[in-house]
Copies of this chain bind each other. A is one copy, B any other.
């Protein structure tokens, strides 16, 4: 099953590639490496999903937000590579907009990591850091960037 078919079987759809909110591009390719800009969670109409995790947003809700970010990153990767079967996830930096006493960043970012593994299988498994940020653009709850590899 292709990753695209897998997504469909999970009832998931790739969002339209978001326009960067400032002077940068959604991804950049160097050799066979794909560098993806940080993205935040977006609702079906494309609006930013916001809130401090540990105060306005629960871990469970933030997990779903991270999954939405994962879909956005896959959308960018598909635009870059043509098809997701060529994509291998190498490194993820998961940044949670959290209160200072928050400690469950890994559970939040699993929303994205679980999606990558479900959709891409072995090639979805990646190195990762999951950390807590003081603040994020537009007060989005989660921002995730990634380095991926494009196979021939």
Q: Interface on A for B, CB 8 Å cutoff? A: 20-28, 30-33, 35-38, 52, 88, 90-93, 95-96, 98-107, 109-110, 113-114, 117, 125-139, 143, 145, 147, 149
Known pairs A24-B113, A26-B127. 19 more at Cβ < 8 A? A20-B128, A22-B110, A22-B130, A23-B114, A23-B117, A25-B125, A30-B88, A37-B128, A38-B128, A52-B100, A98-B135, A99-B134, A101-B135, A102-B135, A103-B139, A131-B136, A133-B133, A133-B134, A134-B134
In contact, B105 and A24 (Cβ under 8 angstroms): no
CB distance from A142 to the nearest CB of B (A): 11
Please name all residues of chain B whose beta carbon is closer than 8 Å to the beta carbon of A21 when the two chains form the complex. Answer: 106
CB distance from A98 to the nearest CB of B (A): 5
